[in-house]
Each structure stands twice: as C-alpha cells, then as structure tokens.
Structure 1
Amino acid sequence: MTDRFHDALITQATSEMPEKFFDRFMFNLHPDDGTAPSVILGAGVYPPRNVVDGFVVLTTATEQRNLRVSTEHDATDKASVGPLRWETVEDNTTWRIRLDENKTGLELDLLWHARAPYWLGSVDVTNTDGNLTSFDHLFQPGRYQGTLTLDGTTTDVTGWYGLRDRSRGVRTMSGGQGLHIWYQAQFPDRTFGFLLVEDRHGGRILLEGAVMHDDGRLDDITDVRHSLAFTTGNDLLHGTVEIVTATGATYRVDADASAGGGYMAGGGYGGHHGQVRGRDFEEFDVYPLDGTAGPTTLDSALTDRCCTFEWNGQTGYGIFEFALSRSTSYAYRPSSV
C-alpha cells in the first residue's frame, strides 16, 4: 500500500511527460445476486498525443455489445468522450458516471461509492524487448446507486456491485507473459482483489493485491495458487484459487465462469487505446455468445468474465479477468491448491 492517490485524471501535458503517458479508469457494474447484465466501461487520456478515448462493453445472457469512441482531447471538456461522462465527486470515495444514448441501447446515470479501502501499488516490469513498464495501479470495490436503462427498460441498480480500476504512467507490456489474472471477487463483507502475472514457464512476474474488508482493514495478499479449467479456445470454464495473506489467513475461492462474454477486444484492448483517431471517432459491434467469438479468435485474449464465486459457504459475484498467451510455446499449468 502506498500514499493517498490523486484520483482525478491528469489532463495537462507537461514538458517532462513521456510520449506514451496515460491516465485511465475502468468501472464494472453487475448485480449483487447475479451475473447479467454485466457492464464494463472506461476511458483514458493521453495528453502528449492530444487523445481521449473510451469504451463500453455490455454482456447480456445472449450477446456482447461493444462501443469504442475517441476524439481529440482539446475538443472536450476534459471529462467526457462521446456519450460517456465522468466526475470525481470525492477522491477515492465517490464518482459519477453517465452514459447517454448510444448504439448499445444502454444508458446509465450512476453514483459509485467505495465500500472498502483501495489497494494501490506500482507495476514495474522490464519487458523482453528491454522497454520498461511503470505505472501506478489502484483497484477498489464499491456499490452503486442510480439507474440502468437497457433497450428502453429502466432498472434501479442501487446496491449493485462495481469495482473500479485506475492506472497511470507508461505501459508497454510486450512478450514473455503466459498467464494474466486480475481477480475481483466481492462478498457481503470483503473483496478478494489481486493481479497475478506469470511467464510462459509458470514463473511469477508479478503479484499484488489485498483482501479489502468493508470495516476498513486491508490484508495484503502474499501468495496465490490456482487450478483453472479452460476450453480448447482458452476460455475459462471454472476454477479455484487459494489466497494467502500477510496475517496468515488462507482463503479457497471457487469460480463459475459459465456466464460467458466480457471479451475486452470489444473495448479496444487489442492495442488500440491511445491511438490517434481524429475527432468524434466511433465503432460499434456485437459478439454473439455462441462460441464464435473468444480469446483465440479476437485481437485480444483479455477477458473480464462476470462470475459467481463460492467461499466458506457464502456466494459472491465479481470479475475474473484472465488471458492466456497464444504463443505455441505456452500451455496453462496449474499450481497446487
């Protein structure tokens, strides 16, 4: 855990700012008693490039609808892109998110409230090409109040779960990774949150995270073991992780990933973020959840699956983000649980 995070996005370029500097946020939204609909949205600013872009990924029981937008940063109010608008109401405590009418059929008017302290770390990795990845990384669980309107039907989402992710710095991850997991399992009184990256031989590149308790306690995660089941197309079916913390606690958490969807290629995660697209760029597409779209067919393997979790007789819900390398030199290998 590091010092208090300045939450508002940095929107002004400076002379010492690296050309690849970014400042991004991501929120997910889903019921606290189910996995659909699942919404993942986010935006990023790239001041040296004069770019701001954003995305919306909506997963229903039958399909995934994707919206990607980008424009010139100096043509905005510094807190919007396309139909997506945001406001930091109170640092690390409350955000307002609005999504106006758009091609997905989804509209949002939300207040996100933190339910536990955030975890903040620094991701520092030397890539196989010699470039350095270095960025601040924060994640924090919360709950919503407000409304979700889908295809004309409005739902009160008060009490729904949602975790936010903030990252700021320079990210140039390239090659060498085998397994990537960003895990956010929300239960009534705590959230299990961690980032785990392994190389193609099963060696650990990175582990950071904590058990974030609603009563304000943060218990750093010191070890994670996993046994996961994937399809031949590298899509997660189910799995178990065992989490060990600094206080000596051990948690065994099971995940059911059968809900489908959450393919982050729909949000531009195939290397498209920060690209110069000019003013008012917009793309929309739909992935049917019939097996034709997946980690091996899209331009990114990254998947944010809304899952049902089981731990100690309790049921939780949240996002299990995963990606397996598509290199022929890699095959998933479980660690002991």
Structure 2
Amino acid sequence: MLTKGDDYPIHQTPEPIAYSGSDRNFYDRYFFNAYAPDGSAFAAIAFGVYPALNVADAHIAIVTDGKERCLHASRVLGMERLDLKVGPIAIDILEPLQKLKVTIQKTEGIAGEITFEGRAFPIEEPRFVKRNGPRLFMDYTRLTQNVRASGWLEVDGERIEVAGWVGTRDRSWGIRPVGAPDTQPTPGGGITGFFWQWTPLNFADTSVYFHINADPDGKPWNTRAVILPDGAGPEGGYHSDAPVMETEILPGTRHAKSGKLIIPLAQGEATVKIEPVATFLMRGIGYGGEWRHGALKGELAVAREDLDTVNFDHADPGNLHIQAISRATLSQPGRDDQVGVGVFEQLILGPYRPLGF
C-alpha cells in the first residue's frame, strides 16, 4: 500500500512506509509539555502512531489550581502515517527539529494553539534496549529538546495566555508495550521491577537533561546527563554517562519529595537541586488507564476526563507515573547559581532497593 510517506526519502525497510517491520508493538510518538515560569499552569500533549495496530491517538492535559483537565482522541490510522490529526488535535511541523505547532479545535470546553520552538539542537538519548526473558520488551530511540512556547489555551471559557513559557518536546520511535497487553505469559520472562526518572530542566540560558532506567538493585541500564547552552548545535554541550540522582521520597508514596542531581565535570561537579511544587498525572495523556496508548476505540472516539492532582490516591497503580512540576537550582563551578523550572518524571514499579521499596 503506497501512502504520502513514500514520496519522501524516509524509508527504513524495503517495504512501503505503511509497514514498519513485524513487531506489533512498534510506535512513533510526539510528546510536548509547557509551563509558566512559576509552575502555576502546565500543559502536556501526546500524539502516537501505531502502524501494526492501525491506530493513532492524541491527548492534551492542562493543569491549573490542582485540577487536570484532559481531552483524549483515538482513531483508526487507515495505514496513513503522515496525517497528523486525530479528532480535534493536530500537529504541524513548521521547521523540522526546530519548530512545531499543536492545535486543539474547541471540544468539550478545551481549545488552544501552541508553538514550540527549540532552544538548541535536540539531544539524542542512548538507545533504550531491554529484554523480557527471550522477548524484546523495549527497543527505541528518543530525541529531546527544551523549548520556548507561545500561544494560548482555553479551558471552560477561561483563556490562558502562553507567553514566556518554557518546556520540553520529544520524539521517540521503536518498540515498547502498546495497546492491549499480551495474554500469554513468557516462560523465563517477567520484568521484576522498573525504575525511571527523567528531568528536563529550563534555566535562563541553559538546559539540563537527566534520565535513568535502573534494575531493582539500582544498577543503571540506561542513563545520561547533558548540560546544553542555548543555540548549541548537534555536537554541543557537555554529556555525562555517570550522573547521580539523590532522591528523597515523600513518605507513604513512590514519588519524590526532592532530588539532587550530581553531574561530574573536569573542574569539579555541577549540582541541581529539584523541588516539586505540583503534580501532573501522566494517565491524563494516555500513559495507562482507559485511554492507554494504542488502545482500539473504534473509527473515532473523543472524550474528556478531569483529574484531581492534589487529593489523588498515591497507591493507585494508575497514579504512579507522574511528572512533578519543579523549581530547580543549578550550581556550576565558576558560575553564579541559576534558578529555573522543569519536570521531575517518576515511575517506580516493583522493588527498588536503594529507596527501600
């Protein structure tokens, strides 16, 4: 089947673009977030394409005053991967790797238009590869880019001006669990625990990125930290494969009360102190729950969901995956401290002995 993508030099296999290998869990996703400088308002967007499931979905969540207002949309893909619109939510690529726009046509009281412009060239994170016994559990690549955001949002008649906001966008593609879970267990398999932290942070003239995937004993199987000045190109910035995050857990939860990131440098070390101020529940953009990524909802389905980000059940498995909107203080040798804002994404499943789980 020939599609619009076949007229672009983007083929990765001998087949037409409509096909993406043989793994049913292949996905191709956009993610965006943006937030006011004081963390008082926050928005996140996810847009995913699942070629082997023939599904596309999109989500937006807006957090203000302890409430998360979400709009979910899902449709049959029709094997056309370049139609970047699902119901009321659409993406326009204005300048590849630099400027993208998300538009939300007013639906269920939610509307908006936000342009995301990169502060520097995107970073490429190390390739994520993890097996579940003999089966491939994850195999994907992700680019990440801190951004300046502009435009507007509307929630139930209240207009929010997106001016002076910053945030992060990413693009990831490859294999990880999507759609309905497999019903047959794999002998010799079983992921005993999953530990994930991700902290893209925005400062006045600098971005800091950190992530870690670790096993239950705390041994990282994928980690990286990057300090990147505005305007840096593909080879710019400082990259470290040996960062350390010291995490204090909020009692009775699996979420962080605070974090201290330590990045070794030739002239000493950089540190970033992270103080969460508000919570964004990732289920609001399809990370779990009824609207999980890749779920088949029919030809087209659109629905609103409202969540409480203050008085939620921390023990509910659907609420374990969060982004904490956070203040951050960056200290580097020979420079004045910088105060910024970002997110501290967290997902801890099963045992993680360094933190007592």
TM-score (norm 1): 0.86
For 2:312, give the aligned amino acid. Answer: T
2:199 aligned with 1:175, yes or no? no
| Contact residue 39 and residue 277 of structure 2 kept, 8 A | no
Rg larger in structure: 2
Query: Offset at 1:48?
Result: 2.1
Query: Offset at 1:20?
Result: 1.9
Bigger mean CA offset, 94-103 vs 66-75:
66-75
Report how many residues are paired.
321
For 1:188, give the aligned amino acid. Answer: A
| Contact residue 71 and residue 110 of structure 2 kept, 8 A | no
Query: Offset at 1:118?
Result: 0.8
- Say which SS state the counterpart of residue 101 (structure 1) adopts: strand
How well do the aligned residues superpose, as a CA RMSD in angstroms?
2.7
1:233 to 253, 277, 281: 253
2:74 aligned with 1:56, yes or no? no
| Contact residue 66 and residue 266 of structure 1 kept, 8 A | yes
Query: Offset at 1:226?
Result: 1.9
Q: Hey, what's the Cα distance between the residues in 2 that align with 1:151 and 1:109?
A: 15
Q: 1:15 to 1:24 in 2, by over 3 A?
A: closer
For 2:271, give the aligned amino acid. Answer: R
Report sequence identity in percent. Answer: 22
TM-score (norm 2): 0.82
Q: Hey, what's the Cα distance between the residues in 1 that align with 2:158 and 2:319?
A: 32
| 2:347 aligned residue | 323
| Contact residue 32 and residue 170 of structure 2 kept, 8 A | yes
Q: Hey, what's the Cα distance between the residues in 2 that align with 1:297 and 1:88?
A: 37
Following TM superposition, the consecutive aligned residue runs of length 4 or more in structure 1 with deviations greater than 4 angstroms are 8-11
Q: 1:125 to 1:300 in 2, by over 3 A?
A: farther
| Contact residue 248 and residue 256 of structure 2 kept, 8 A | yes
Structure 2 residues without counterparts, runs of 5 or longer:
1-7, 179-189, 332-336
| Contact residue 27 and residue 162 of structure 1 kept, 8 A | yes
1:126 to 113, 125, 130: 130
| Contact residue 136 and residue 169 of structure 1 kept, 8 A | yes
1:268 to 258, 279, 286: 286
Q: Deviations over 1:179-200 (max 9, x none)?
A: 2111111101111112211111
Report 1:127-206 matches (<5 A): 127-132=131-136, 133-172=138-177, 175-206=191-222
2:115 to 105, 111, 115: 111
Q: Hey, what's the Cα distance between the residues in 2 that align with 1:75 and 1:101?
A: 27
Query: Offset at 1:116?
Result: 1.0
- Say which SS state the counterpart of residue 49 (structure 1) adopts: coil
Q: Deviations over 1:160-196 (max 9, x none)?
A: 1021011011114972444211111110111111221
Structure 1 residues without counterparts, runs of 5 or longer:
1-5
| Contact residue 145 and residue 160 of structure 1 kept, 8 A | yes
Q: 1:137 to 1:307 in 2, by over 3 A?
A: same
| 1:3 aligned residue | none
| Contact residue 125 and residue 144 of structure 2 kept, 8 A | no
Report 1:57-96 matches (<5 A): 57-74=61-78, 78-96=83-101
For 2:280, give the aligned amino acid. Answer: G
- Say which SS state the counterpart of residue 188 (structure 1) adopts: coil
